[in-house]
Amino acid sequence: MAARKLFLNRELSWLEFNHRVLEQALDRDVPLLERLKFLAITASNLDEFFMVRVGGLQMLVDEGVMKADPARMTPAEQLTAIGARVQQMVDAQYRGWHEGIEPLLAQAGIRRVRPRELTEEQARHVEYVFENEVYPVLSPIAVTDPARIPLVVNLLLNLAVRLRPETGADDRPRYALIPIGRNMPRFITLPTQGGYHFLLVEDLVGMFVERFFAGEPVLECAPFRITRNADLSVREDLAGDLLLDMEAVLEARKRSDCVRLEADAGMTKTLLHFLQSALKVRRGGVYRLAGPLDLAAFMSLAAIEGYDELKDRPWPPQPVPEIEPGSGMFDTLAAQPLLLYHPYDTFEPVLRFVQEAAEDPDVVAIKQILYRTSRNSPVVAALLRAAERGKHVTVIVELRARFDEARNIERARELEDAGVQVIYGVKGLKTHGKVCVVVRREAQGLQRYVHWGTGNYNEETAKLYSDAGYMTCDEDLGADATSFFNAVTGYSQPQKFRKIEMAPIGLRERVLACIESETERRRQGQKAFIMAKVNSLVDTQIIQALYAASQAGVNVQLNVRGICCLRPGVAGLSENISVVSIVDRFLEHSRILRVYNGGDEKVFISSADWMPRNLDRRVELLVPVEDPAARRRLQAILETYFKDTVNAWRLLPSGQYERVRPPSRRRRFRAQESLYARACERVRKEQDLQRTMFEAHRPSSAQR
């Protein structure tokens, strides 16, 4: 079969994922402010897509690269297809805003007011705000030479101003820019008798724009915004100091090429042509938007207080029943391993694990990977305390975690100043694995306790992302954790692990071995199946192995949240493969693999998606979950995702997705709702058990 038919293009597949997010914004069954949140997410997603993926493709085109991707599309062909699909998506975004979300918000009392709609009281208020809070802060920048336009900041809202030509000049218009600073509120609250009324800051500045140009008639004023290429990285073979060179990359991004120009639909061709020429934007990179620019900023409006009826009913994370009140984490893990599934299970045990390790006098060492952390991370605070108390603390800080580079540079310096041994990952590879190992001195000798995870050590995203964590003091997994850190921090070749696998050495091979083992068993007439949950499936070698499994008769069920380059359901190729994607209130982020293995099922959690970058260019981890209770729970979680008939989408052979619909309203099944109900039920059962158990007070040893 031709390669174009074997594989779907990854960029177009990602755009289909963003469209599924957009469908949540258009779904009237979703609470209104949640719809607004999903709309903001689609805009934020597109920002990153243009910065990274489109920026990278434009660099390839500029370099004359004609090499096709696995779907047999050249970079130029991909850019053309992306432009057409994005335009469709942008049109759908703004139709959804104008025809659905904005009118319903107004009905609920959350109303955007245009300048012409202001009452006298509101007009006096906004004039006061402009004079006292906006005019003293903003500064116009004259553009005397379009070839030398001042620096326009990436993703920052600006106003482009066209002024009347000077008297006696050659009728050429004059231009100026007014950058709207990041510290300027986007929504200007207006006085009103009820509800929440607001004026957009660009409308406010536009009302009084002539105040910036005394005596100069303003012919036009319109908002615009640019997106710059962020696909820049350090040449590590030439890097002397990775931290300093990473800072140089961040600086270079401020002046990189403009890959997208978003302009208000009412902007004249004259002003648009000036911006396009001055910013050197390709024709296909111009998007005229029929509504407010930067919909991502509306995320803050979605969080407005006092409108709980327009939001999802809260699902607070549940306590972990296996952890007895008052018990320390080390006593708990000595008794049994823990399988955590966030955000249904609270992230508190992971925080306590690091915090108790910092305070415990018997803990001698902590080793941990930090990829993305929160702004005021309690994990980082605990590691700093541990170092101050004289414990040996080793932290791998990945400086190249995209768009978190600046924060990670700050973290690295803070940790180094406290005496922590900081490693900036592995040369040539991003360190993306998630593991924390604590070494504790106990009566029988040194004992290792380990947390393995699919997500970051970030207590904020742990409330929003679905991720699995496995905490254990298993001797083999503890030894593997030590070997892993020694390999990463000590310039040594990784020893053969007892149970885990690590990318780029061994993880791909282990996954392929699992797939090929099921394929061979099915060829021999045995029962075989593969179930997997990943964020992205791009790797052609794994896709080919899954095709071979399907052709052998193996039932393959895949839950792929985002990009999927595999074509399911193609006769003679993949008719035994099904692919679903779930987009719901929590971001699906966990990676789980389950294979039948002749009845002795194997279940793994992993930090790695099935993409070449994860398998070949990153340090990733694949961890078996062997504890029977933990494995059974993980199996049940995985099965739950394939039952969804509310927020699941089925991938068709064409690369399009169709929504999975229940046969009747009564048979609706929502996976995330079921997982949350199950977490609550686990807690309720434990509470019922505690109420039926009696424990006698016994005399202390001193009284005997």
**Residues 560-575, mean pLDDT to the nearest whole number:** 96
- Predicted confidence (pLDDT) per residue in 135-153, tens digit: 999 999 998 777 778 888 8
Considering only 220-234, 295-309, 690-704, which range has the smallest mean pLDDT?
A: 690-704
Residue 664 is predicted with a pLDDT of 78
Whether 638 has a pLDDT exceeding 80, the answer reads: yes
Residue 269 is predicted with a pLDDT of 95
Specify the amino acid at residue 437: V
CB 295 within 8 A of CB 36: no
220 closest CA partner among 267, 275, 274: 267
> What percent of the chain lies above the pLDDT cut of 90?
75
Residue 703 is predicted with a pLDDT of 47
DSSP 8-class letter at 634: H
- Residue 170 pLDDT grade (very low, low, confident, very high; cuts 50, 70, 90): low
How many C-beta atoms lie closer than 10 Å to residue 656's C-beta? 11
Q: Is residue 513 left, alpha or beta, with left meaning phi > 0 and alpha meaning psi from -120 to 50?
A: alpha
**Residues 450-475, mean pLDDT to the nearest whole number:** 96
Residue 241 is predicted with a pLDDT of 44
Q: What's the half-sphere exposure (Cβ side, CA atoms, 13 Å) at 271?
A: 24
Spatial separation of the C-alpha atoms in residues 109 and 103, rounded to whole Å:
10
Q: What residues contact 543, with CB distance under 8 A and at least 6 apart? A: 6, 7, 537, 565, 566
Spatial separation of the C-alpha atoms in residues 347 and 370, rounded to whole Å:
16
Considering only 83-97, 164-178, 300-314, 540-554, which range has the smallest mean pLDDT?
A: 164-178
**Residues 591-620, mean pLDDT to the nearest whole number:** 96
Q: Which residue has the tokens 């590879």?
A: 429
Which burial class, exposed, middle or buried, applies to 168 when counting CB atoms under 10 A from its CB (0-12, 13-18, 19+)? exposed
Residue 248 is predicted with a pLDDT of 55
* Distance, CA of 371 to chain centre: 13
For 372-396, what is the HEC assignment?
CCCCCCHHHHHHHHHHHCCCEEEEE
- Residue 52 pLDDT grade (very low, low, confident, very high; cuts 50, 70, 90): confident
Q: What mean pLDDT value characterizes the chain?
A: 90
**Residues 351-357, mean pLDDT to the nearest whole number:** 97
Segment holding 661, helix H or strand E: none
Tokens of 353: 């694990």
Considering only 208-212, 252-256, 637-641, 670-674, which range has the smallest mean pLDDT?
A: 252-256
CB 412 within 8 A of CB 424: yes
- Residue 411 pLDDT grade (very low, low, confident, very high; cuts 50, 70, 90): confident
Ordered structural domains, the chain, with CATH: 3-310 (3.30.1840.10), 329-499 (3.30.870.10), 503-685 (3.30.870.10)
CB 120 within 8 A of CB 316: no
Name the 3-class secondary structure at 309. helix
How many C-beta atoms lie closer than 10 Å to residue 303's C-beta? 12
**Residues 256-269, mean pLDDT to the nearest whole number:** 93
Spatial separation of the C-alpha atoms in residues 630 and 640, rounded to whole Å:
15
Q: Walk across the sheet containing 258-264 and list its strands.
A: 141-143, 174-179, 158-163, 218-228, 258-264, 286-289
Check: pTM over 0.85? Answer yes or no: yes
Whether 35 has a pLDDT exceeding 90, the answer reads: yes
Query: Does residue 432 carry a catalytic annotation?
Result: yes
3-state helix, strand, coil in the chain (%, to 5): 40, 20, 35
Catalytic-labelled residue, pool 19, 197, 432, 589: 432
Residue 639 is predicted with a pLDDT of 98
Considering only 210-214, 539-543, 617-621, 663-667, which range has the smallest mean pLDDT?
A: 663-667
Residue 426 is predicted with a pLDDT of 75
Angle between helices 75-96 and 32-49 (to 10 degrees): 160
- Predicted confidence (pLDDT) per residue in 413-446, tens digit: 888 888 889 888 777 788 899 999 999 999 999 9
Residue 528 is predicted with a pLDDT of 98
CB 653 within 8 A of CB 570: yes
* 78 to 58, 71, 82, 194: CA distances (angstroms): 10, 10, 6, 49
Q: Per-residue b/e over 113-127, b at no fewer than 16 CB within 10 Å?
A: beeeebeeebeebbe
Spatial separation of the C-alpha atoms in residues 221 and 207, rounded to whole Å:
9
402 closest CA partner among 51, 114, 146, 100: 51
Residue 243 is predicted with a pLDDT of 46
